[in-house]
Amino acid sequence: MTTNRRILLKSRPEGLPGPQNFEHVEEDLQDPPADHILVRNIFLSLDPAIRSWMDDVESYFPPIGIGEPIRSTTVGQVVKSNHPDFKEGQYVLGLNGWEEYSITPGAGFTNVIDETIVPSISNYLSVLGAVGLTSYFGLLDVGKPKEGETVLVSAAAGAVGSLVGQIAKIKGCRAVGIAGSQEKCDWITGELGFDAAFNYKECNGVAELSAKMKETCPDGVDIYFENVGGDMLEAALDNMNEFGRIPVCGLISIYNETEPQPGPTNLWQLVINSLRVEGLLIKNYLDRFPEGALQMATWLGEGIVCVGDGPPDSACLPPCPADCSIVPDGQVNVTDLLALLAGWGSTGSCDMAPPGGDGTINVTDLLALLAAWGPCP
């Protein structure tokens, strides 16, 4: 009988996730029940939201249960179907888990995808998936850019941020990115066409961040696309123009904190500059997915939007997960990830080779889920 390798949530992380929070199991593969399909997962998305789903707190999705596979969007192929709307051999996009095979009902987020119209089916996890649609609706519907405005993007070398800046340029805006290394800054200004960028790690505190924003955005900021929070948000508030907009996509700087973090001290800026702050959840745009996907696919096909391999420092070359950097494609090959996690989790060693080739680990400057397991023993 075929076995299914799975990564389960063993315990809830306190702070940064580590190997102790995960369990690698091999189970006999079961047949799908009526109106379900069996999917062999090929790619999965590694998103910052996964970290929040590990906590036992109320959110827009229920928390991952202890003993359940880590929830993730996947692209895979139907290997057995007991559902009239799905055929064996079709490729599908769905919300499944960190496992080689998933049994899923043919409803909700599970959709058949066309593998013939994209360079790689992994594009459905990035530019044509939730990442791309979050960028599209977040900037255009929430940010409402106007030609000539300045768009400032935090985590700009990440999955969402790298696309937001490109869409801003398409709409005639000036795009300025904030990233975590000079290599990432060079990549987004060189390959992606951002007008300017700076490395936030060279700034010490809110005052220096604010000064750097003022330097790179001399005419002020009309739209601040928020992925980070913390000091970054406070500094951005000091640089917003009147009637500016702040789409809040994420607050990754606080996801692993165990204590409440202080909020911005300058919220008065919201009043004196008549600013609008709006949270962004892609589930609110389900009925408009075809519209967004069609436009992103058109831009991708025309070469206007780039989905590349990421900046030079993004390759996961060292075998130690503490040294793995983030790349902006938003996906990881399932087989490689399971092998890698199984090795780290069971032996604690760094002997496992990292994903390579078509297996690229991502996320917006991430989740430290894989990037912060601690130094090699």
pLDDT in tens, 307-366: 865 555 443 322 333 333 323 334 444 444 444 444 443 333 222 222 322 223 332 222
Domains contained in the chain, number: 2
352, 112 Cβ separation under 8 angstroms: no
Same domain, 223 and 244: yes
Residue pointed to by tokens 């739209």: 223
**285-311: average pLDDT:** 85
Q: Mean pLDDT of all residues in the chain?
A: 83
Q: Do residue 199 and residue 317 come from a single domain? A: no
Report how many helices (DSSP H) and strands (DSSP E) the chain contains, helices first: 9, 14
- Tell me what pLDDT residue 323 has: 32
pLDDT of residue 351: 27
Q: Is residue 352 part of a domain?
A: no
Q: Report how far apart, in Å, the C-alpha atoms of 215 and of each of 44, 190, 231 are.
A: 39, 19, 17
Q: Quote the pLDDT of residue 257.
A: 82
Question: Would you say residue 353 lies in a domain?
Answer: no
Cα-based distances in Å from 184 to 174, 192, 223, 311: 18, 11, 21, 5
* Selected residue with higher pLDDT from 359 and 236: 236
136 and 21 part of one domain = no
Residue 375 lies in a domain: no
Does residue 377 fall inside a structural domain? no
Query: Which DSSP string corresponds to 65-91?
Result: PTTSBPEEEEEEEEEEE-STT--TT-E
Residue 239, domain member (yes or no): yes
C-alpha distance from residue 19 to each of 7, 30, 352 (Å): 11, 27, 14
In a domain? residue 374: no
What residue has token string 């165990």?
258
Alpha carbons within 13 A on the beta-carbon side of 15 = 6
CA 184 to chain centre: 16
For residues 103 and 174, membership in a common domain is answered with no
Q: What is the pLDDT of residues 42-94, one digit of tens each?
A: 988 888 888 889 999 888 889 999 999 999 999 999 999 999 999 999 999 99
Q: Residue 141 has what DSSP assignment?
A: I
**Same domain for 58 and 140?**
no
Residue 83 placed within a domain: yes
32-41, 154-163, 347-356 — which is least confidently predicted?
A: 347-356
Q: Are residues 245 and 318 in the same domain?
A: no
157 and 25 belong to one structural domain: no
The tens digit of pLDDT for each residue in 86-117 reads 999 999 999 999 999 999 997 767 889 988 88
β-partners of residue 91 are 77, 113
Q: What is the CATH number of the domain that holds 111?
A: 3.90.180.10
pLDDT at residue 367, as a whole number: 31
Judge if 51 and 89 occupy the same domain: yes
Give the range of the structural domain holding residue 108, as residue numbers without chain letter: 3-122+308-347
Considering the domain architecture, whether residues 152 and 105 belong to the same structural domain is answered as no
Is 360 inside any structural domain?
Answer: no
